[in-house]
Structure 1
Amino acid sequence: MNFDGEDLSHTSLTDRLEPDETHTFRSCDLTETDLWGASLAGARFESCVLERTDFRKADLDGASFSGGGGTGIRFVDADLVDVTFTDVDLSAAHFGGALLTDASFTGCRLIGASLTGSRGTGFRVSGSNLTLANLGGCSLRGELIEGVRFDDADLAGCDFTGATFSDSRLRGARLLKTVFAKADLRGADLGDCDDDRVRALAGATINHAQAAAILAARGINVI
């Protein structure tokens, strides 16, 4: 079933969705639309307004979102396995309890988003802005993290074991009990590193310039 350019805001769509069909939404207004528990596996959302859209407990397995978006989207307890988000505004989105196994975020705006409490074996993120986001306890083991801003994000308890950072930023990020074992941080802007942040980087690989900056901040010159 296709929805093209429709104003579906402030409505409940559950009764309009056909079972066992793949749904496509193009340039629709889904502001505060109720899709709680909806069956949307494989659905496509293209350039839709998603301001405070309610996807709680929805089945979005294999769905794709491209363009559009909005603030405060609710994905709490949703099935987001294999979902792709491309160039979507997900600012202040809520993912608590969502199953994010193999989900991917590319070119997305995730400022202030909350992914803490999400479930699954890990997700992928690239070219995205996660400034002030909360990823507490998330796993990005072995991932290539390219072009990602984690400025002032809460990364407490995150697992970056074996991850590789490229053209990314960790300035001001909270690193309490964050795991960087065997991670390659040579492509990351670490920002100012106090003693607690240096300890959090244990097991990671950094470059000469990063090490020199850390030591210079402690009055030690590297020649």
Structure 2
Amino acid sequence: ECDPAFRNCSFDGADLAGFYAAELEFEECSLKGCDLSDLSCESLRISSSNLEHAIFESADILQSEFVKCVGGSANFQNAKMNFARIIGSDLSSSIFNWANLSGADLSGSRLMGIDFTQTNIDSTRLDGANLGLCSLRLKDFKKRRFVGVNFSEADITGCDFSLCEFEDCHLEGAVISPETTFNNADLRGATFVGSELCVARLQGAVITSNQASSMLFDRYGIVVAGNLDA
């Protein structure tokens, strides 16, 4: 028997709750409002498809793939998505409460406005991901390397970025608290315009001279100028 594979199909509003398949593939399909809650699938692959308002609540879809999908306001609450690959997709404003994304690859995806506070995102790969306006409160990111990640206006209250390295990252307007930790982190590849980096824990952190000047101005109103000519 062949496992289901669908291309250029519409499942808008379909009720597939509780569906089981060893393998399931959707390519260039529309799944808007489709109910896939409690889906159990050992190999789920969805590419170039529309997932707007689709429901994957409590789905068991470990190692699933979502590639180049659009899925604003999809519901992944309580879904098991360990080691999933969400690549180049736009799932902004989706729900991931109590979902397990540990070990997932979120590279190049637009995930704006998502509350990840109750989501397991341990060991996720975030290269090129847009996490603007997300809530990441109290997350532990120790010893991670971030490349091209956008944290603009994200809530990183109490996050631990100790020993992290940032390359071409944006934290403009990020919400930073005294409990946010950047101890021994390399921040030279990050921009913090409009965020109060100076209130965070920064023991041993490496920053550029421009970043240091900006922090002194934001904190104390001190302007760092060049040396006067003799």
Deviation at 1:32, TM superposition (A): 1.0
**Is contact 1:34–1:53 with CA below 8 Å preserved after alignment?**
yes
Identity of aligned residues (%): 30
**Is contact 2:18–2:40 with CA below 8 Å preserved after alignment?**
no
**One-letter amino acid of the counterpart of residue 69, structure 2:** G
Q: Which residue of 2 aligns with 1:5?
A: 8
Computing the radius of gyration from Cα coordinates, the structure with the larger value is 2
**One-letter amino acid of the counterpart of residue 65, structure 1:** F
Deviation at 1:37, TM superposition (A): 1.2
Deviation at 1:201, TM superposition (A): 4.2
Q: Which residue of 1 aligns with 2:200?
A: 200
Q: Which residue of 1 aligns with 2:87?
A: 86
Q: For 1:201 and 1:40, how far apart are their aligned partners in 2?
A: 43
**Is contact 1:60–1:78 with CA below 8 Å preserved after alignment?**
yes
**Is contact 1:105–1:124 with CA below 8 Å preserved after alignment?**
yes
Q: Secondary structure at the match of 1:23?
A: strand
Deviation at 1:23, TM superposition (A): 1.1
**One-letter amino acid of the counterpart of residue 111, structure 1:** M
- Superimposed CA distance per residue, residues 169-202 of structure 1 (whole angstroms, 9 cap, x where no aligned partner): 11111112222222211100011354xx313142
Q: For 1:134 and 1:41, how far apart are their aligned partners in 2?
A: 30
Q: Which residue of 1 aligns with 2:63?
A: 62
**One-letter amino acid of the counterpart of residue 11, structure 1:** A
Q: Secondary structure at the match of 1:105?
A: coil
Q: Which residue of 1 aligns with 2:190?
A: 188
Q: For 2:215 and 2:202, how far apart are their aligned partners in 1?
A: 13
**Is contact 1:122–1:139 with CA below 8 Å preserved after alignment?**
no
Which stretch of the first structure deviates more once superposed, 198-207 or 150-159?
Answer: 198-207
**One-letter amino acid of the counterpart of residue 169, structure 1:** H
Distance 1:153 1:15, change over 3 A: closer
Q: Which residue of 2 aligns with 1:210?
A: 211
Q: For 2:97 and 2:156, how far apart are their aligned partners in 1?
A: 15
- Superimposed CA distance per residue, residues 99-124 of structure 1 (whole angstroms, 9 cap, x where no aligned partner): 12111211111111221111253322
Return 5+ residue gaps in structure 2 as ranges: none
**Is contact 1:117–1:136 with CA below 8 Å preserved after alignment?**
no
**One-letter amino acid of the counterpart of residue 9, structure 2:** E
Q: Secondary structure at the match of 1:25?
A: strand
Does residue 219 of structure 1 match 2:222?
yes
Q: Secondary structure at the match of 1:22?
A: strand
**One-letter amino acid of the counterpart of residue 189, structure 1:** T
Deviation at 1:133, TM superposition (A): 1.2
Deviation at 1:152, TM superposition (A): 0.9
- Superimposed CA distance per residue, residues 75-103 of structure 1 (whole angstroms, 9 cap, x where no aligned partner): 11111110111110011011111112111
Q: May I ask how many residue pairs the two structures share in their alignment?
A: 219
When normalised by structure 1's length, the TM-score is: 0.91
**One-letter amino acid of the counterpart of residue 89, structure 2:** V
Q: Secondary structure at the match of 2:129?
A: coil
**Is contact 2:174–2:194 with CA below 8 Å preserved after alignment?**
no
1:1-223 correspondence to structure 2 within 5 Å: 1-14=4-17, 17-18=20-21, 21-119=22-120, 121-176=122-177, 177-194=179-196, 197-203=197-203, 204-217=205-218, 218-221=221-224, 223=226
Deviation at 1:137, TM superposition (A): 2.4
**Is contact 2:19–2:38 with CA below 8 Å preserved after alignment?**
no
Deviation at 1:48, TM superposition (A): 0.9
Deviation at 1:222, TM superposition (A): 5.1
